[in-house]
Amino acid sequence: MLAIEENVPLAPLTTIGIGGPARFFTRVTTVDALRDAIRHAHDRRLPLFLLGGGSNLLIADEGFDGLVVKLDLRGIVVHSEDASAYATVRVAAGEPWDAFVAYAVERGWAGIECLSGIPGSTGATPIQNVGAYGQDVSETIVRVEVLDRTTDRVVTLTNAECRFGYRSSLFKNVDRDRYVVLGVTFRLKRDGTAAIRYPELQKYIDERGIAADDLRGVRDAVIVIRKRKGMVIDPKDPDTRSDGSFFMNPVLTAEEYATFPRPDAPHFPSGDDVKLSAAWLIENAGFHKGFVHGNVGLSTKHTLAVINRGGGTAREVLELVRMIQAAVFAAFGVELHPEPNFVGLVG
């Protein structure tokens, strides 16, 4: 039997602390309960929204006029495939992501250490193909277990079937509302070394003599760097009341980059394409750290983070986002695209 609540505030369930109430709300801890919740919404013709860790989300000020289902599926199971070299681990969708990273690092399993300090649930990581400091989760994901809402069956998708791209996947783009992620299986290198690909991280660990096989040291270094940018949740730091990086770094083809007006801007190879720094574009379009717009603004530590300064609204966030997008396009001819999912809003 589902326990359905009414008029439940959603803002406290998000890292940015913005959003109106859910008309109806329930938590599910099993796949059967999830099926019941989906059926409940379908039978009553209610809009349905599935809520994970709330870390990459902007909800309308009016809230959600339907059923919000909080996914609380838990559990970590270690398998023994290729046990001599790799740990294959199935993590339920509701497990907190950073807690799992810490779990892996403590056991000497390499492959996700540079993704330390990222808030949210494990189930959200394949949807966004979460990445930071040179690592993406798609590098270590073996398969993703999902509930196919069109058939009501649990199916398993391989890494290739997930169609991972830069901050994108099958779940985010092609079949946005079809699948519900139930669990993610990772293949991590036992007694492995960290993949240090990000210059800022390389500089930090070099200065402190941290070895690449010191996964705890690398994890700690990543968290320190993220904290400097306000990218680790801290109730005492208002700069962390955000959705993390609000904009994706734009990726230009070689032809597009040839006409980019500022070749001196930071840029990085991305396959055959060129990735630009969204933070640099924002700052050089006139939006400084600590920029204020009503009750929202930009972090004092990093221009990529849109923060709730206290009493902020989704309307104010969208106003600021559109101001930034327009200024960057006017200055550089480059479109910035938001990372967070918008609920009840038009981005």
Catalytic residue list:
167, 245, 339
164 closest CA partner among 109, 124, 126 = 126
How far apart CA 52 and CA 26 sit, in angstroms, is 12
Distance CA 99, CA 53 (A): 13
The amino acid present at 158, given as its one-letter code, is T
Distance CA 248, CA 207 (A): 29
DSSP 89-150: EEEETTSBHHHHHHHHHHTTEESSGGGTT--SBGGGHHHHT-EETTEEGGGTEEEEEEEETT
CA dist., res. 91 & res. 78, Å (int): 9
Place of tokens 């599910």: 28
- List, edge to edge, every strand of the sheet that includes 48-51: 5-9, 21-28, 64-71, 48-51
